[in-house]
Amino acid sequence: MNFETDIFTVFDKKWALLTAGKKDDFNTMTISWGGMGTLWGKPVVTSYVRTSRYTHEFLDKNEFFTVSFYPEEYKKTLGILGSKSGRDIDKMHIEGLTAEVVGDSISFKEAEITLLCRKLCLQPIDPKNMNPDIAQQFYSADAPHDMYIGEVVDIIRK
Ligand SMILES: Cc1cc2nc3c(=O)[nH]c(=O)nc-3n(C[C@H](O)[C@H](O)[C@H](O)COP(=O)(O)O)c2cc1C
């Protein structure tokens, strides 16, 4: 496996798609919070998903998920996938994106890089345990985040 990147900007500036499900039943959403590192002796990706997201249901139902990164020209599409819910639009057939099976999960052919992840841990993040300023800013009106930690089992580079 080989994936060189600036981990402090790749989520924040480039954004990514977090996708879970099977070929005919999956959902995807844009993420810009996340991390990569080492845990339990494994290469891991950590993502933070509000419990209100439709994608959350797919993450819970499936052992695998993908995190995929796209060329700059897909930013508008990522903006749509990050502002509309799969409960309201069909995210399995988004113009400009072609779903493809990756291992036991789903990504899109247009991705530059896809990280195939096996779910290792789901950990709710309790606003009661946070710095009060953060809790107030991010959780007074919105659902809390769950942290999903996935082992990176494959890296698919186009
Ligand atoms: C740039 C960007 C980054 C986002 N990052 C996250 C994130 O890290 N975690 C999260 O829960 N929502 C994030 N969102 C919001 C979700 O992508 C958005 O609510 C989406 O519509 C959820 O889709 P779903 O209901 O189909 O799962 C982000 C949105 C944008 C535009």
Our mutation pick for probing the ligand 1 site, out of 46, 53, 77, counting the most ligand atoms within 8 A of Cβ, is 53
pLDDT digits (tens, 9 = 90+) for 69-94: 999 999 999 999 999 999 999 999 99
Please give the tally of structural domains in the chain: 1
Task: Quote the ligand 1 centre to 33 CA distance (angstroms).
Answer: 9
Task: Quote the ligand 1 centre to 63 CA distance (angstroms).
Answer: 20
For residue 150 and ligand 1, the question of a CB distance below 6 A is answered with no
Nearest to 158 by CA among 120, 91, 112: 112
What are 121's strand-pairing partners? 149
Cβ atoms 119, 79 nearer than 8 A: no
pLDDT confidence tier of residue 1, bands split at 50, 70 and 90: low
Calculate ∠ Cα 85-88-93, nearest 5°: 85
Is 41 inside any structural domain? yes
Question: Collapsing DSSP states into helix, strand and coil, what is residue 137?
Answer: helix
- Calculate the average pLDDT of the chain: 96
Question: Who's near 142: CB < 8 A, 6+ residues apart?
Answer: 50, 52
Measuring from atom 9 of ligand 1, which residue has the nearest CA?
49
Is 117 inside any structural domain? yes
pLDDT digits (tens, 9 = 90+) for 11-30: 999 999 999 999 999 999 99
pLDDT confidence tier of residue 144, bands split at 50, 70 and 90: very high
Instruction: Note down the domain range covering 59.
Output: 10-157
Instruction: Output the six-digit token pair for 76.
Output: 């508008």
Is 4 inside any structural domain? no
Is 15 inside any structural domain? yes
Give the integer Cα–Cα distance in Å for 12 and 7.
9
Question: Collapsing DSSP states into helix, strand and coil, what is residue 95?
Answer: coil
CATH code of the domain covering residue 105: 2.30.110.10
Terminal-to-terminal C-alpha distance of the chain: 14
For residue 22 and ligand 1, the question of a CB distance below 6 A is answered with no
Is 5 inside any structural domain? no
> Residue 144 gets which letter from DSSP?
P
Is 87 inside any structural domain? yes
Task: Quote the ligand 1 centre to 148 CA distance (angstroms).
Answer: 14
Ligand 1 atom with least separation from CA of 83: 21
